[in-house]
Amino acid sequence: MTEDVAVMVSVDGMVMADHSDIEPERNSIHTLVAVKRDTEWSFAAFQKSPISAGPKSIEHLQSFECIIFL
C-alpha cells in the first residue's frame, strides 16, 4: 500500500421492487481498490460477493459505517 492506493470494503442490502425492506439473502460485500494518479482518484478493481451475514433491515444497514484503508 502507498498513499496513492485505497481499499474500501462495504456491505449492502437490497430492497426489491414491491418490497418495503431489504431481503437478507441478497446481502453482499464489496471490495474496491482506488488509485490516485496525479490529483485524480479512479477505481482500479471492484469485487462483489454474496454473504450470509449482514444487515437484516434498512435500519440495521444504515447503522453500518464506511471503512476505508489508506
* Dihedral of alpha carbons 35, 37, 41, 42, sign: negative
pLDDT, tens only, 1-60: 788 999 888 877 778 888 888 777 788 888 899 999 999 999 999 998 887 766 666 666
DSSP string for 12-45: E----TT-SS--GGG-EEEEEEEEEETTEEEEEE
Note the pLDDT of residue 2. Answer: 82
pLDDT class for 70, splitting at 50, 70, 90? very low
